[in-house]
Amino acid sequence: MQRLPVWLLVGLLLMPCYVQAKLEINISGVGGKLRENVELHLSRYESLPRGDDDSIRRTLHNAVTKALQPYGYYEPSIQSEWTASSVQLNIDPGTPVVWRHIQITVPLPEHDLNDATMKLLRSPPFKAGQPINHSSYDNYKKDLLVRLRQQGFLDATWERSQLLINTEEQHADVLLHMSPGQRYRITEIRTQGSGLSDKTTMALVKIQEGEYYNADRIGLLYEDLLTTGYFKNAVIDVEKAPPDQATLDLQLEDQPKDQFTTGIGYGTNTGARGKLGWTRSRVNNRGDDIYSNLQVSQIGEEISLQYRIPWPHPLERYLSLETGWKREETTDRESSVFTTGIALKRSLRKQWQYSVGVNLENENYRQGDNPEESITYLLPNYHYMERLLFGERNNPTAILKYWLDASLGFNVLQEDTQFLSTAIGASYTWHITSLHTIATRFELGGIMTNNFYSVPLSKRFYTGGDQTVRGYKYNSLAPEDEDGDLLGGQFLNVFSVEYQYALNEEWSLATFADTGRTFISSHDPFHSGAGFGLRWHLPIGTFSFDIAKPITGEDKSSPRVHIYLGMLL
């Protein structure tokens, strides 16, 4: 083993070792945002050598002064007290510079500006007598410029932009003059990269050539293109041709023609369940598509197939040719329905939707120990739903949703047997604060018929379970026959109220009460349940875990657990 030379070892032992300790900097006299900014500016100087050196003191004082200036404090008084390892900075920020004269000029008529821009112009964040704030000034200039460019003034610039600060008289004046330039119009729209025909692609574009450039409408166009399911990616470029013309260039990348989805889950209504979906997003260059779905659960199976024809915009109106088969089995009844039909469906950005159509359905059903029955009926039907948001679009303070379903059934083989079924409902969710939420829901339904017992089993009303009256088994509440088997109801009433307390952004606690009934006679009683639960808010929906117990009359029994993924109310 080699040894270090003696002279080298001695040198290493005698060599002084210096470890630079951090300088501890303490401050007093300021708080809030002032303190945060001062600490931020001083943090870079914690490695300075210790000692009351004039250059170090000036460096720290300059850093404090610089940190206070964005908030209007230009002449602070700073006293420093040094020790061997630290410095105490006692800060008196002094009197702030305040706003005085505000002059903002945008030489455009009001009808060229939207409400948000007018609000910025009428209510700038510069209030006379208030301390100035450099960030507010910079952000205001940026926001107003962005607003104008979003409305088509693509060449807008600040011709004059001055913040005049008088530290002696402790006031500041704002002089802003905008040069908006010409307002651009969309004079040409080009598309490339898609296998869809130009006619079909242009039908997806709700912007018309000749209209003013509007960034919000272009943003909605981008959302629409991806929501159609046709495209994997979309890029929208804007090419300017000064002084007032612009071209939209849509570069589209098609989705693979065939897409498959799978899923598994569990709910106390259905038990374990699995799902397999297949979509062919482009059957032809007109944009027709096919959607097929297979669902299997512990209480039944369902398979459906839809051929959809855009007419002309797939997100707003399309014709749907549909066929499917569904089987459901519970303790005392079994039903299987084969259906085929056609429907015209319309919607508007998830705000409202309706469909009108007609189905031909064949149903085989068995109730209790009764023999199986079969019925074939023609079913014109109508559905309407509207969803209203209150407050900001991405963070609403309340959501109101209401819907109507109606269908008219004609027995194909027995002309004297027919029925009209209607159901209406609404839900209202009110976010009182970030912590407290109230959610309510009701649903009413009725069947008009000359012979209720000839109405197919699947068209009668049942209630109970995760999404109706918690504390009861799925669809276990309905009038019974002499043998105790469920007949189903001719009428439906369901009401629910729920309170949620947020633990954080993802989790909340809930307590609730539900009541409802399906009935043939108006004397039939309501069934009520109440309980508490846990909510896990996910991007795909809300996972709900509830424990509920019947609380009325003879229904009082053991609590039931309800598990559900989706929106309960």
Of the candidates 225, 171, 216, which has an alpha carbon nearest to the alpha carbon of residue 196?
225
Q: For residue 117, give both structure tokens.
A: 């821009």
Does 423 share its domain with 529?
yes
Map residue 112 onto helix, strand or coil. helix
Contact 186, 246 (CB under 8 A): yes
pLDDT for position 411? 87
Residue type, 335: S
Strands (E), 392-525: 396-411, 418-431, 436-449, 491-502, 507-519
Of the candidates 498, 493, 522, 518, which has an alpha carbon nearest to the alpha carbon of residue 508?
498
Q: How confident is the model over 131-153, as pLDDT tens digits?
A: 999 999 999 999 999 999 999 99
Does 175 share its domain with 195?
no
Q: How confident is the model over 171-199, as pLDDT tens digits?
A: 999 999 999 999 999 999 999 999 999 98
Q: For residue 365, give both structure tokens.
A: 């059903």
Last residue of a domain, one of 124, 148, 179: 179
Does 423 share its domain with 530?
yes
Domain count, the chain: 4
Q: Please state the rounded mean pLDDT for residues 29-34.
A: 93
Q: Give residue 64's domain range.
A: 22-92
| pLDDT of 95 over the 60 cut | yes
Q: How confident is the model over 467-522, as pLDDT tens digits?
A: 899 999 888 899 988 878 888 999 999 999 999 999 999 999 999 999 999 999 88
pLDDT for position 289? 94
Does 61 share its domain with 210?
no
* 218: CATH: 3.10.20.310
The DSSP secondary structure of 372-431, one letter per residue, reads: PEEEEEEEEEEEEEEEEEEE-SSSEEEEEEEEEEEEEEEESS-TT-EEEEEEEEEEEEEE
pLDDT for position 1? 45
Sign (positive or negative) of CA dihedral 144, 146, 149, 155: positive
Does 238 share its domain with 129?
no
CA distances from 238 to 180, 183, 468 (A): 18, 14, 50
Does 128 share its domain with 169?
yes
